[in-house]
Structure 1
Amino acid sequence: MLNKIHRIDVLKGLKKLEDHSVDIIIADPPYNIGKDFGVTIRKNLKEYLIWSEKWIQESTRVLKPSGTMYIYGFSEILAHLSVRIPLQKRWLIWHYTNKNIPSLNFWQRSHESIICCWKDSPHFNRDDVREPYTASFLNNAAGKVRKGTVGRYSKNGKETIYNAHEQGALPRDVLKVSALAGGAGASERWFLCRDCDKVYDSKELKNHLEHDVLKHPTQKPMELTKRLILSSKPSDKGVVLIPFAGSGSECVVAQKLGIDFIAFELNKEYVKLGRGILNK
């Protein structure tokens, strides 16, 4: 099943996998907000949570004790779901740095949430996902004396020096990555031309303006996927499970990083879209 997008329902696909067989799970399920994915019927909250619990239970079964599972969603939905997940958890934020989802009468949405779940002792490769230091730290703290206090920084209040790590700051739980909105990230978008029955990258879109084309409405940026995989990748090759493949972008990132993947997708056109770009 490795390194393929399988056209199959997520629950049926998961049942084909052995216990403790994957290192990373990146789950980007339908958010149940009415987006048209070709096969999704919107459920009420109770039905959605019951369905979510089923695929999460199976995902937990196939996750290795050292593995990590990431689940995307809006915070108001994930808040209901998080309490039902029988794993250790941290709440991550994906802050879109280039757009808001407009609301004239309420707070503008500028982020999505990611539940980070694990069983025992997950792999965490902090040096692979370090971030640039803020200008404030570099100007005001780096290289200066830091006075320790009991239980913080150093033992017995010993003074230390703020040192800037050559690879950057430790990764924070707010991931600032531009969304694929408007023209942003055009180089990593692709589309299926239904008239030509072929997959093309965004540079070819101008040649298909009069054609019936399919794009995935909620494709995640590759940089975001890259950070998640690099942070949790084992020292050996490892396997990443993508239960909802969508456009196939997570599969492309896994392929580029040299990690095996298993992907499921029910929509036959998205399967064609993902397979098309993987084969280019």
Structure 2
Amino acid sequence: MNKKNSKRLELNKIYCQDALKGLKKLPSNFFDIVIADPPYNIGKDFGNNEDKRELTEYIVWSKKWIDECIKVMNKNATMYIYGFSEILAHLSVNIPLEKRWLIWHYTNKNVASLNFWQRSHEAIICCWKGVPIFNRDEIREPYTEGFLNSAAGKIRKGTLGRFSKQGKETIYNAHVKGALPRDVIKVPALAGGAGMTERWFLCKTCDNVFKPLKLKEHADHKIIKHPTQKPLDLTIKLIKSCMPKKNGTILIPFVGSGSECVAAKKLGLSYIGYELNPDYIKIAEKWLEDTNFHPGLF
């Protein structure tokens, strides 16, 4: 099936279904982007008991859903997979695609450990088919103050006849949109009060989805929130890096509370997502209702 036949699929929908089962029903070579934020196998409570398997079992399971994702990626598609580096290292060797490693550096927290290195980052595998789209100018980063003050606009010493054209020395040029993107992405995690404007909560007591400002009204109620929600700034950057100029479609195998779906809607892209926990789907759908397309983001 190609994009012309996409009416057979119901786009912009989250299916309450196991990802592996759902992926097998999708058409081959269809999606432009895959963003996978699977359970990390560290015992987090996602409303089921599927986040603590034997390592070998986890690797076998991961290979199955990754293989299905590869089948449905189009010829120039990109896939991002979140995880801890010690886990992703086992998965990376089984991915038959070109790949690079990215680092998401939390700028506002460490995961405390008295017995070993404190964790301050998560890894992201970036893998692709064919010649991938890479929109470098859409994800440029602010220049460092040191570069702007001491180098921008000045001659690069020793470049005469080495890198330059026509025998001229080259100059440190500052691009209007900023520096080229690096493979260490610095974005605050949604820890403590950070990113509270992005969080939505489900009250099981009164079956209501609400924003943080109403937390006090539900102080004695049973509240559900996603434990590993990703920041929108991070998700939007990943999508913008490889999204087509129009009519892009994203596959989200593990929706969680919906960050990737919301980012897709903001950027004007279509998506299909899967999530096992109906409570998280309620949160994601309410967040999506509150989200609009923002043409200026791309």
TM-score range, shorter chain: over 0.9
Question: CA-to-partner distance for each residue in 1:17-47, whole Å, 9 max, x for gaps?
Answer: 1111111111000000010111243111110
- Give unpaired runs (5+ residues) of structure 2: 1-9, 291-298
Matched, 1:201 2:201: no
| Whole-Å separation in 2 of the counterparts to 1:171 and 1:156 | 29
Provide the alpha-carbon RMSD of the alignment.
1.5
Contact 1:148 1:156 in 2 (8 A): no
Matched, 1:262 2:272: yes
Higher strand share goes to which structure? 1
Q: Do the aligned partners of residues 153 and 219 (structure 1) sit closer, same or farther apart at CA in structure 2, a change above 3 Å counting?
A: farther
Matched, 1:130 2:167: no
The aligned counterpart of 2:229 is 219
Identity %: 64
The aligned counterpart of 1:28 is 37
Code of the residue aligned with 2:20 in structure 1: it is: L
From 261, 283, 294, the counterpart of 1:273: 283
Contact 1:192 1:213 in 2 (8 A): yes
Contact 2:198 2:232 in 1 (8 A): yes
Cα deviation, residue 91, structure 1:
0.3
Matched, 1:38 2:47: yes
| Whole-Å separation in 2 of the counterparts to 1:40 and 1:81 | 21
The aligned counterpart of 1:76 is 86
The aligned counterpart of 2:159 is 148
Matched, 1:90 2:100: yes
Moved more, 185-194 or 250-259: 250-259
- Give unpaired runs (5+ residues) of structure 1: none
From 5, 8, 29, the counterpart of 2:17: 8
Matches within 5 A, 1:103-182: 103-146=113-156, 147-148=158-159, 153-154=163-164, 158-182=168-192
Q: Which has the higher contact order (CA 8 A, sep 6+)?
A: 1
Question: CA-to-partner distance for each residue in 1:76-135, whole Å, 9 max, x for gaps?
Answer: 001111111000001000000000000012111000000000011111111110000011
Cα deviation, residue 274, structure 1:
1.2
Q: Do the aligned partners of residues 99 and 56 (structure 1) sit closer, same or farther apart at CA in structure 2, a change above 3 Å counting?
A: same
Q: Do the aligned partners of residues 40 and 133 (structure 1) sit closer, same or farther apart at CA in structure 2, a change above 3 Å counting?
A: same
Cα deviation, residue 277, structure 1:
2.0
Q: Do the aligned partners of residues 26 and 149 (structure 1) sit closer, same or farther apart at CA in structure 2, a change above 3 Å counting?
A: farther
Cα deviation, residue 55, structure 1:
0.3
| Whole-Å separation in 1 of the counterparts to 2:166 and 2:115 | 52
- Matched residue SS, 2:123: strand
| Whole-Å separation in 2 of the counterparts to 1:155 and 1:60 | 42
Question: CA-to-partner distance for each residue in 1:178-198, whole Å, 9 max, x for gaps?
Answer: 000000000000010001111
Contact 2:160 2:170 in 1 (8 A): no
- Matched residue SS, 1:60: helix
Provide the TM-score with structure 1 as the length reference.
0.96
Code of the residue aligned with 2:252 in structure 1: it is: I
Contact 1:194 1:213 in 2 (8 A): yes
